[in-house]
Chain A
Amino acid sequence: MNKISPSIDDALAGIEDGMAVMIGGFGGAGAPIELIHALVDIYKKTGSPGSLTVINNNAGNGAVGIAAMIYAGMVAKMVCSFPRSSDPKAFTDKYLAGEIGLELVPQGTLAERIRAGGAGIPAFYTPSSFGTDVAEGKPVAEFEGRSYVQERWLKADVALIKAELADRKGNLTYRKAARNFSPLMAMAAKTTIVQASRIVEPGEIDPEHIVTPGIFVNRVVEVANPQQEEAMLREGAN
């Protein structure tokens, strides 16, 4: 078994128009910048993959990462909890012009829907959003005297993930708060594509420390010294 791809472009092969793509990260922490930017380059060269549904907590900041995908015109819809940032222009302009869709999901519900998608649970009940506009049209049920809203699993064709360590079997660790949604997304996508800052031999990561077991991972590409989205923005990237 060897899940290591020889290049980023090899790792990204097979992403098609109209697919649902989960992208790890919360703000800049955990954003797989090299995978995203390579995908933007592929789109600019070939016109595909476009019309993507992108699932992330946010909807891009500045002009890098997911914002670069939006500016390139390859995103049809965002599924997120917080489409605002220090510079949300990429998303905001298209949203207000009616050129990009938005499914707004409370953050904890977004996480649990993704977890459920990866765990084979088609629906669950949560107290979050009961009695609010976000719950409109969703089934409600009472448990032990309280009302809960039914939410459905969320799955994707592809997940793009940034990890710290990986091995050829796909086992992963993350770096600090860059973990966030990534372990959930790795479970919920048909094809999970990982950029890792360092690839090590199987056995080098203590089994007690593996956060995402390799069964959830399909492809790994090494990106040493990866860019960090927040650091890029603070250095004036555009």
Chain B
Amino acid sequence: MTTKLSNAQIAWRAAQDLPDGAYVNLGIGFPEMIAKFKPKGREVIYHTENGVLDFGEAPPAGQEDWDLINAGKKAITLNDGASFFHHADSFAMVRGGHLDVAVLGAYEISENGDLANWSTGPGSVPAVGGAMDLVHGAKQVWVVTDHVTKKGAPKLLKQCRLPLTGVACVTTVYTSLAVVDIRDGCFVLREKLPGMSLDELQALTEADLSVEGTVKDLVVPEV
């Protein structure tokens, strides 16, 4: 029995919710994996902060053009219909409400939708990139994350303790144990692993999980 989902499985689950025809920004790293699991037959157009819309997969090794990269500085290719634009237009797409979905990683998420994902506090070089912009403007802001930290502490909190990326911005959290929507300042449990009781899941979640109607089983294939 699955005890928790791998990152690839979390990405797979999030990918199932990508709407057909959506404009989507996938954050650097873990969220980028979602593209691989997009259900067949749905057309999704990917945006990257550094000024490309409708990019495709990475090119084969040796065929990279380093003037054609994504926000993670990785080489990309273009789909037919792709476009280039400068940074102000790129962030107009972000803040102006033109993106349907933005997906980010997280250190912490609070029950009112606050996100902390850019700074682990003093002592390191702070770097924020586009995260503080991406959390505002997209119609849905998803987070993909392990349900708990490496030390086993909850990441779904009453209040974030780390420096915030944005206030009341997250709409759905896809974790290694559950799918949780954020509505009216509450974590609303949509799906959980079938092998886990609600009490067990709650014990790994600092804030209250509320239930509206039935909680579906979170069933993900091996990927």
Which A residues fall within an 8 A CB radius of B? 26-30, 57, 81-86, 88, 91-92, 95-96, 102, 104, 106-112, 114-115, 126-134, 174-184, 211, 228-231, 234
Contacts and interface: CB of A to CB of B under 8 A. Distances in A.
A180 B133 contact: no
A141 B8 CA distance: 41
A111 B125 contact: no
Contacts of B198: none
B24 interface: no
A132 B91 contact: no
28 contacts: A26-B69, A30-B67, A81-B128, A81-B129, A84-B125, A86-B73, A104-B127, A106-B129, A107-B133, A108-B90, A108-B132, A111-B88, A126-B95, A127-B95, A128-B132, A128-B136, A131-B166, A132-B132, A174-B84, A177-B51, A177-B67, A178-B67, A179-B86, A180-B86, A180-B87, A184-B86, A184-B87, A234-B66
A106 B130 contact: yes
Contacts of B87: 26, 57, 107-108, 110-111, 180-181, 184
Nearest to A85: B73
A228 B130 CA distance: 23
B189 interface: no
B19 interface: no
Which 8 A-B residue pairs are closest in the complex by CB-CB distance? Answer: A108-B91, A108-B133, A131-B167, A111-B87, A230-B66, A127-B136, A106-B132, A107-B130
Given A81-B129, A182-B86, A177 B166 contact: no
Contacts of A134: 128, 132
B84 A82 contact: no
B73 A27 contact: yes
B103 interface: no
Given A81-B130, A106-B130, A177-B48, 9 more contacts: A84-B127, A92-B125, A111-B90, A129-B132, A132-B166, A133-B163, A175-B67, A180-B86, A181-B86
B128 to A, nearest CB: 5
A170 to B, nearest CB: 17
B129 A176 contact: no
Interface in B5-54: 48-52
B91 A29 contact: no
Contacts of B49: 107-108
B126 interface: yes
Given A129-B132, A176-B68, A107 B167 contact: no
A29 B86 contact: no
Contact of B165 (A91, A132, A179, A231): A132
Contacts of B167: 130-132
Contact of B127 (A83, A86, A111, A178): A83
Contacts of A184: 86-88
A27 B90 CA distance: 16
Contacts of B67: 29-30, 175-178, 228
A130 B125 contact: no
Contact of B94 (A108, A114, A130, A131): A108
**Most chain B CB neighbours (cut-off 10 Å) among A95, A111, A128, A129:** A128
